[in-house]
């Protein structure tokens, strides 16, 4: 097992289903080369993502610091996150939900589900920026774990990060493939080169209707 990577590039916070009604338009959008521009800032609210199973080929994971914009006053603040990347992924029973406070009407939940009934979600160049990840099982094939000392070669890294250099001593890992079951994530951004939502259902309902 390799102990180090060399000059791992670090993905600058970029990608997702933003916690507003307008965010629904981003679900089917293809994003060139798997990551948005480094100038893209993320709205100041997280969202929930769950899946029955996530099977990915070409896995990479590393840390970075994203820029989060407050939804209340527009101020910006850094947010340390872990980025998981897959060259390709198959996801069953995908659920994404975000709280949507609506003036006068109160709190609503925007929830999107897909990938059930034997028709899984398919994604390529998938990036997920998160602060929490849980899974019943996680299996990695031919994994390398180490600090940022070499180049990630098995999975994707941000192709727009030519001005971003790895943080010395930071954690990174890669694997030929990864399989996670009963996944629960608190995420701030998600991007993909392609994101095919089979059996998609979007629902906006009053109250708490989160994925978990």
Task: List b or e across 45-76, with b for residues whose CB sees 16 or more CB atoms inside 10 angstroms.
Answer: bbbbbbbbbbbbbbbbbbbbebbbeeeeeeee
The confidence score (pLDDT) of residue 79 equals: 87
Residue 10 in 3-state DSSP?
Answer: coil
Strands of the chain, DSSP E: 4-5, 42-43, 47-69, 76-92, 94-102, 106-114, 121-134, 137-141, 144-148, 171-191, 194-196, 201-206
pTM over 0.95: no
Query: To which residue do tokens 């790895």 refer?
Result: 166
Helix residue ranges per DSSP H, the chain: none
The confidence score (pLDDT) of residue 34 equals: 34
In this structure, the strands spanning 4-5 and 47-69 are: unpaired
**pLDDT tens, the chain, 212 aa long:** 333 333 333 333 222 222 222 232 232 222 233 343 334 556 778 999 999 999 999 999 988 888 888 877 888 888 888 889 999 999 999 999 999 989 999 999 999 999 999 999 999 999 999 999 999 999 999 998 875 556 778 888 765 443 333 444 567 889 999 999 999 999 998 888 899 999 999 999 999 999 99
Q: Which two tokens stand for residue 142?
A: 């031919």
Residue 196 in 3-state DSSP?
Answer: strand
The confidence score (pLDDT) of residue 80 equals: 87
């Amino acid at each position: 097992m390799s102990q180090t990577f060399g000059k791992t590039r670090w993905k600058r916070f970029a990608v997702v289903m933003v916690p507003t009604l307008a965010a629904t338009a981003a679900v089917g959008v293809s994003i060139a080369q798997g990551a948005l521009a480094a100038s893209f800032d993320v709205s100041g609210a997280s969202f929930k993502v769950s899946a029955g199973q996530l099977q990915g080929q070409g896995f990479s994971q590393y840390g970075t610091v994203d820029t989060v914009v407050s939804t209340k006053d527009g101020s910006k603040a850094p947010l340390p996150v872990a980025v998981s990347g897959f060259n390709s992924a198959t996801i069953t029973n995908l659920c994404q939900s975000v709280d949507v406070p609506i003036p006068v009407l109160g709190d609503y939940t925007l929830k999107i589900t897909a990938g059930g009934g034997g028709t899984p979600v398919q994604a390529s160049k998938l990036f997920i920026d998160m602060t929490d990840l849980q899974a019943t099982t996680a299996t990695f094939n031919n994994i390398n774990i180490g600090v940022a000392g070499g180049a990630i070669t098995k999975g994707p890294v941000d192709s727009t990060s030519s001005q971003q250099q790895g943080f010395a001593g930071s954690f990174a890992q890669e694997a030929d493939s990864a399989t996670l079951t009963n996944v629960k994530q608190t995420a701030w951004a998600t991007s993909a080169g392609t994101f095919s939502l089979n059996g998609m259902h979007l629902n906006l309902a009053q109250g708490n209707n989160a994925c978990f």
